[in-house]
Structure 1
Amino acid sequence: MTAMSTRAKLGVLTASAVLLGAVAAGYAATAAQPARTPPPPAGSDQPVTLTPGARLLAITDRHVSSVATADPTGPRTVSGLECLRVYAASGTGVCLKPETPWSYQVVVLDAALHQTRAVSVPGLPNRARVSASGRMVSWTTFVGGDSYVTSGFSTRTGILDTVSGATVTSLEDFAITRDGRSYRNADVNFWGVTFTADDNRFYATMSTAGKRYLVRGDVRARTVETMKENVECPSLSPDGTRIAFKQAIDADPTKGWRLSVLDLATMGVTATGETTSVDDQAAWLDNGTLAYTLRQSDGNPDVWTVPADGSGASRLLLPGAESPSPLT
């Protein structure tokens, strides 16, 4: 597959998100960002591994890469593995990988980036996560053809248990409780799974009837229940107490999103110091720091970071990279 074909597909991914009403404001805001430093040269003395350590995983020029946490702007190691999204934990990785020019796979990786499982998925890859133990893998894609979607696109979110092999092809099959009552609607969509420490429960976004909810799910029971409106792309903190998410301004995604943090004990929300619209599922570098992707005016990505408690300002972390994941 040529690099040009991959760029074309990434362009379609962006177009799909725009049709969903999900990124227009974000790109308008990031277009105003000043030009940024290009990525440092790649190092080649060591292979990329997913072994836990003081390194940050990311995608550089469409390939899986890693860099020392202590020197994120230094030389990074770039592998030959092409992915549109990547994430890893406890030596297990997930790569949303091109299979043919217009089909994709969810590929589960071992610590040496060897494929251990692969699942063909419909649509254009958008989100990916691995549970802290490395057992559970999740993904979200944009798909077309659902009759209820006027834009022509919706989402599919799946979960794979890497130990048992059990696969949930779509969270839309789960029983839904909305505001305390059983709920079913053809327009339900899910995206952005984040797992709890027990490898069974998870949080995600559910959209229906023009609203977006944070939901709490149970894989074994095949259930989800709504918790709070206007919470998208949740990311659970390492200590399990908070959720980073993108909050639509005035509950309207066309106005962009504010990267925010939800305290699960109080359900209070704190806006971070990042004021640019963030259309990403942020990653926790530790219990106090978030990392996320912003795009330059030419569409090229950079990874930025900001404190999770609302203090301080955002700063550039990895120029010319996206899909950050700490190698914990």
Structure 2
Amino acid sequence: MIERKRRVTVFVLVVLVVVVAAGAYGWSEYSRSRDAQTTASDVDLAPADAPITGERIVFRSTAPGDLYGRVAAVAADDPGGPRSVAPVACDRIDTTGDQSVCLRTDRGIVTTFEAQLLDADWQVIQTWPLPGIPSRTRLSPDGSLIATTSFVTGHSYATTGFSTETVIHSAGGDDYGNIEEFTLLENGAEIAPVDRNMWGVTFVDDTTFYATTQSRALGHTWLVEGDLEARTLSVVRDGVECPSLSPDGSRIAFKKDVDDGSGVHWSIAVLDLASGEETVLDEERNVDDQVEWLDDDTLLYGLPRDDEPGVSDVWAVPAAGGAPKVLIPEAWSPAVVRS
């Protein structure tokens, strides 16, 4: 009996030590995170009374400190220069300048995800819930259509068994629903794979868009052309992920899996829509992003830093081929505002 009591006492003491240690670790991590977010970020800022306007690149700041996650902007002709900072934080951002779409995570007692449509002064016009982790978002050229993609399960397109939900609706409130429900056509004939995931919308106009459709069962990752009025998706090409239409509408940049084995390694490629010619660019690192066109000659994309968790940079690479370079340090999710 005495031995049993002794064992119980020892067990209780061990539990208390574990609980105290866990609590101390949790408080330490909370304090570290709080301190990191309240420490001033070491970046050059434009004057608060003179925000950057005109042709600019809008992005999510990944500079450690109080600006982490905030939406920022730099002049297109001075991307490494001072940045303006907006009063909103986003995981993903796209903008026309007059309005923006912001995908964000609300880390409350229960973590939730939402999309916000914001005006030119960063005031909320609309908000709606997302079913999971924010992944991609795009506005149509005039800002009248909004596409959002969220992970319903999984955290990466490289994850086996991931599931996404991609929805298009208008700034006026019309809902086109989950484009997974559109009719999928190949050479004019309907196909109905048992599994289907959609992501990476890029708009042509207020009716037409391109996107990725994947069927793991059939072993295809298609570039499809979508028609909102007909509610159809027509296969254009295989092996295309996260398309991005060039400003002149003649080419699509995308990420292409170039791994010959069972793994995944995405390079950036450019497809000429008229000729069907495909060019794989000179970026040898794995690029898991939907690229953005700076202009008709240059592509932008985000790459995380290997030695600084949570910090990424926006890189640029010539669309015709050439060496990539850092364009905006400590940045993610670039969106170009053209005059």
| TM-score (normalizing by structure 2) | 0.79
> Which one of the candidate residues 183, 190, 211 is aligned to 2:191?
183
Query: Does the alignment pair 1:73 with 2:74?
Result: no
5 Å matches for 1:139-218? Answer: 139-144=148-153, 151=160, 153-163=162-172, 165-196=173-204, 198-208=205-215, 209=217, 210-218=219-227
Find the aligned partners of 2:332 and 2:262 in 1 and give their Cα distance. Answer: 22
User: Residue in 2 aligned with 1:29?
Assistant: none
User: Residue in 1 aligned with 2:336?
Assistant: 326
**Cα pair 2:138 2:201 within 8 Å, conserved:** yes
User: Residue in 1 aligned with 2:46?
Assistant: 43
User: Residue in 2 aligned with 1:63?
Assistant: 70
Per-residue deviation, 1:44: 4.2
Secondary structure in 2 matching 1:74 = coil
Secondary structure in 2 matching 1:45 = coil
**Cα pair 1:294 1:302 within 8 Å, conserved:** yes
Find the aligned partners of 2:160 and 2:266 in 1 and give their Cα distance. Answer: 20
User: Residue in 2 aligned with 1:232?
Assistant: 241
CA RMSD of aligned residues (A): 2.4
Secondary structure in 2 matching 1:255 = coil
User: Residue in 2 aligned with 1:286?
Assistant: 295
User: Residue in 2 aligned with 1:303?
Assistant: 314
**Cα pair 2:202 2:210 within 8 Å, conserved:** yes
Which amino acid is 1:191 matched to?
A: W
Per-residue deviation, 1:185: 2.7
Per-residue deviation, 1:131: 1.0
Find the aligned partners of 1:95 and 1:47 in 2 and give their Cα distance. Answer: 23
Find the aligned partners of 2:88 and 2:317 in 1 and give their Cα distance. Answer: 29
**Cα pair 2:87 2:122 within 8 Å, conserved:** no
List 4+ stretches of structure 1 deviating above 6 A.
Answer: none
Which amino acid is 1:324 matched to?
A: P
Find the aligned partners of 1:87 and 1:184 in 2 and give their Cα distance. Answer: 32
Bigger Rg, structure 1 or 2:
2
Q: Give the unaligned 5+ runs of structure 1.
A: 9-37
User: Residue in 1 aligned with 2:120?
Assistant: 111
**Cα pair 1:174 1:223 within 8 Å, conserved:** yes
Secondary structure in 1 matching 2:263 = helix
Are residues 185 and 321 of structure 1, via their aligned partners in 2, closer, same or farther at CA, if it must alter by over 3 Å? same
Per-residue deviation, 1:180: 3.8
**Cα pair 2:302 2:333 within 8 Å, conserved:** yes
> Which one of the candidate residues 271, 282, 293 is aligned to 2:280?
271
Query: Does the alignment pair 1:131 with 2:131?
Result: no
| TM-score (normalizing by structure 1) | 0.81
5 Å matches for 1:77-116? Answer: 77-101=84-108, 102-116=111-125
Find the aligned partners of 1:141 and 1:121 in 2 and give their Cα distance. Answer: 7
Secondary structure in 2 matching 1:169 = strand
Which amino acid is 1:237 matched to?
A: S
Find the aligned partners of 2:175 and 2:280 in 1 and give their Cα distance. Answer: 35
Find the aligned partners of 1:39 and 1:327 in 2 and give their Cα distance. Answer: 25
**Cα pair 1:90 1:133 within 8 Å, conserved:** no
Which amino acid is 1:194 matched to?
A: T
Find the aligned partners of 2:46 and 2:121 in 1 and give their Cα distance. Answer: 17
User: Residue in 2 aligned with 1:16?
Assistant: none
Secondary structure in 1 matching 2:294 = strand
Are residues 100 and 40 of structure 1, via their aligned partners in 2, closer, same or farther at CA, if it must alter by over 3 Å? closer
Find the aligned partners of 2:201 and 2:160 in 1 and give their Cα distance. Answer: 23
Structure with larger RCO (C-alpha < 8 A, sep 6+): 1
Are residues 252 and 215 of structure 1, via their aligned partners in 2, closer, same or farther at CA, if it must alter by over 3 Å? farther
**Cα pair 2:293 2:299 within 8 Å, conserved:** yes
